[in-house]
A and B are shown apart, each in its own frame.
Chain A
């Protein structure tokens, strides 16, 4: 279990909390069940004919919505843990990311099976001619290596640095998914996608800001003469790979 290094200053008056083994397991089980709720509700609605007169289209929109929602939540973990000091949150990130992939797969499967009816000609047509469909497919393909290397074993096998470099492509996944969403709606229906875009801008903007802040000379620990040393409000935590088996 990771031990927090001694802090110079508590950024936010929340006591750093580290759930015990049992507590963490309980949190994960509850989170797992919560993440499944949209899928269960959609499946029930589909079987009960409660998705309206065009259930396949409704399913496609809803599954896309949940894919991006889980992706955004996954991307919120790092800012949240840095801003609140609740570093244990990172231990939920893998599950959230895998749920984004899960909903993305359902979104794709619904398109392939229910919408296209596995009609090879129609599928090839869309995936070769229409950038909107190609973009969605590319987004899902980019998620595959991330999902495939989400295990502790994969982290160990790749090594932390390479694993981290690979998993930075989640930013590309988010941006491509966002463009796919924006592209998929008519101009009049842009409101919800634009809210997603604004949230993504915040999530990515935070990282840019955080990076810029850390790479100032002060952040590197070499304060220029005369200037007061800038103490980061949040200490960067070496907790990224703490799930590696001991």
Chain B
């Protein structure tokens, strides 16, 4: 099975600010300023605020992130959706049914620390990861992915994270593990939407293990170089860019490795509309609307939807021989 993934162009380690230097940056800058002052070089104050070099995230305690640059497989020259749109528009029904609800309510309600993710099921080394462990499990990379919602809108998001396979390898799935299930937090105190009887909570989604291990499948921890905003599924989520957005589970508290295919929340709610695979596919319409086109946020004209959301060359082989109209 040839994986047509270009290897990331290595960012030289020298370009990445070490965490130690990063956490001490203010002292270092201050020391530099004092030194310059002592030398009698009266620099204007703003000169001390040097622009952040590539690979440095803003001072939020979030680790440094290797930026996606041209040549990297995670780079895309498509216009990125502004952060204001990414954080003010989306479906996160734990916070309400309006697209603006998550942005309004999640930041004030969701407590992302302490946070743990229990990994269990068909694994040799079941383990509960604290969020800080996950931030250090593998180097954080920026990955610019298209996100296509099943409703027909899309955006381009510079996520931060690493391949989920890094975590999978740590827990060593047994030979029986064929599927993986993700579970979102369902705490009514933090998520008023889970009081709604109209959907089963907690929100669960699943992938086949080979899909979960695919390098494109991201364990998302940030976007735009910073920690994930609450409304985008803080502190840790999954991003599967070739599937409709609802497959990309937010605010994960549990990951289970299973022998049998799990039933996703939306599949249970409307089996004829939301299948297990839910690969982006312009040839298979939603029962109520066409999937041939999509509206990219910020654009007026619809644009054609691409098979596997434009990632067909990398993932189509996962589905060789399958009838994707049946396995929608």
Cross-chain contact A191 with B99 (CB below 8 angstroms): no
Residue of A nearest to B286 (CB): A130
Q: Which of A149-195 contact B (CB under 8 A)?
A: 183-184, 186-191
**What CA separation (Å) do A130 and B287 show in the bound complex?**
7
Complexed CA–CA distance, A130 and B292 (Å): 14
- A117 at interface, CB cutoff 8 A: yes
Q: Is the interface of B mostly helix, strand, loop or mixed?
A: loop
Chain A residue contacts of B198, Cβ below 8 A: 187-191
CA distance A57 to B298 in the complex (A): 12
Alpha-carbon gap, A186 to B244, bound state (A): 15
Which B residues lie within 8 Å of A184 (CB)?
A: 288
Assign chain B's interface to a size class. 20 to 34
Among the 9-residue stretches B85-93, B182-190, B213-221, the one with 4 or more Cβ atoms under 8 Å from chain A is: B85-93
**CB of A210 within 8 Å of the partner chain:** no
Binds B, one of A48-56, A64-72, A199-207, A216-224: A48-56
CB pair B300–A52 under 8 Å, yes or no, is no
Whether A132 pairs with B153 at a CB distance below 8 angstroms is no
Is there a chain B Cβ closer than 8 Å to A208's Cβ?
no
Which residue from chain B places its CB closest to the CB of A119 in the assembled complex?
A: B302
Q: How many A residues touch the partner, as a band?
A: 20 to 34
In the complex, A53→B157 CA distance in Å?
A: 14
The B273-328 residues at the A interface (CB cut-off 8 A) are 285, 287-290, 292-293, 295, 297-298, 300-302
Kindly name the residue among A132, A186, A190 whose own CB sees the greatest number of chain B CB atoms within 10 A: A186
Contact of B93 among A57, A132, A183, A188 (CB under 8 A): A188
- In whole angstroms, what is the CA distance A184 to B286 when docked? 12
B36 within 8 A of A: no
The 0/1 profile, CB within 8 Å of B marked 1, for residues 34-68 of chain A is 00000000000000000011101100000000000
* Contact, CB under 8 Å: A122 / B199: no
CA distance A187 to B91 in the complex (A): 13
Q: Mark B227-269, 1 if CB is under 8 A from A, else 0.
A: 0000000000000000000000000000000000000000001
Residue A95 is within 8 A (CB to CB) of chain B in the complex: no
Where chain A touches its partner, the secondary structure class is helix
Inter-chain contact total with CB atoms closer than 8 Å: 71
Contact with A along B195-208 (1 / 0, CB 8 A): 01011000000000
For B97, the chain A residues whose CB sits under 8 A away are 186, 188-189, 191
Q: Does A138 contact B (CB under 8 A)?
A: no
- Report A128-157 CB contacts with B as 1/0, cut-off 8 Å: 011011000000000000000000000000
Within the assembled complex, what's the spacing in Å between the Cα atoms of A143 and B15? 66
Contacts of A133 in B (CB 8 A): 288-289
CB pair B288 A132 closer than 8 Å: yes
B290 in complex: contacting residue of A53, A54, A125, A191, CB < 8 Å: A125
The CA-CA distance from A175 to B151 in the complex, in Å, is: 25
Residue contact B290 to A56, C-beta cutoff 8 Å: no
Is B100's beta carbon under 8 Å from chain A? yes
Report yes or no: B100 in contact with A52, Cβ–Cβ below 8 A: yes
CB–CB A54/B153 < 8 A = yes
Q: Which residues of A contact B269 (CB under 8 A)?
A: 186-188
A residues near B50, Cβ cutoff 8 Å: none
Q: Is the CB of A56 within 8 A of B295?
A: yes
B300 and A114 contacting across the interface, CB-CB below 8 Å: yes
- Type the 1/0 row for B96-126, where 1 means its CB is closer than 8 Å to any CB of A: 0101100000000000000000000000000
B289 & A126 in contact (Cβ 8 Å cutoff): yes
- Which residues in window 71-120 of A have CB below 8 A to B? 114-117, 119
- Of A53, A116, A133, A189, the most chain B CB neighbours within 10 A belong to A53
B270 at the A interface (CB under 8 A): yes
Of A114, A130, A187, the residue contacting B288 (CB under 8 A) is A130
The 9 closest A-B pairs by CB, nearest first: A53-B85, A53-B89, A189-B97, A132-B288, A53-B297, A188-B199, A188-B198, A187-B269, A188-B93
6 contacts between A and B (CB under 8 A): A56-B300, A57-B151, A126-B289, A129-B285, A130-B289, A183-B288
